[in-house]
Amino acid sequence: MSVGTRPYRPSNGTEGMRFDDRWCSRCVLDSDCNCEILTRTLLYDIGDPQYPVEWIEDDVPYPQDSNPRCTAFLPIGTDLELEECRKDERQMVLPL
C-alpha cells in the first residue's frame, strides 16, 4: 500500500516547537536563523501556492503517526557544495 503525502503545518505552538527542535534547529539552512522555508510557513496559509512544499506529512488516518518532516533538511556540518552536487543527476558522487 502506497502512502501519499500532504503539506504539513503544526496545529499549535507546542507542535511547532517540537518540529523546530527535530528539524530546523539541527539544519544547516537555518543555522544562521535565516531559513526561507520557515519564513514562508509563517507568512502563507497552507493552501497558498507560496506555502513551502518542503514541509510534508504522510496522508494517513488518525491516530497513526503522520511523520511530519522537512524534505530540505541538511544536518549541520553537511557540506552544501557536496549536497548540491549530489542533487545533480549528471554528477558521479560517492554516497555519504
- Residue ranges covered by each domain of the chain: 5-87
Region label for 47, one of left (φ > 0), alpha (ψ between -120 and 50) or beta (otherwise): alpha
pLDDT at 85: 62
pLDDT band at 23 (very low <50, low <70, confident <90, very high): very high
Mean of the per-residue pLDDT values of the chain: 85
pLDDT at 96: 46
Write down the pTM of the prediction. Answer: 0.75
CA 1, 69, 26, 17 torsion-angle sign: negative
User: What is the average per-residue pLDDT within 54-59?
Assistant: 95
Please tell me the distance from the alpha carbon of residue 14 to that of residue 80, in angstroms, as a whole number: 30
Please tell me the distance from the alpha carbon of residue 95 to that of residue 58, in angstroms, as a whole number: 26
Quote the cell numbers at residue 17: 516547537
pLDDT band at 54 (very low <50, low <70, confident <90, very high): very high
Q: Look up residue 43 and give its DSSP letter.
A: H
Look at residue 44 and tell me whether its pLDDT is greater than 80.
Answer: yes
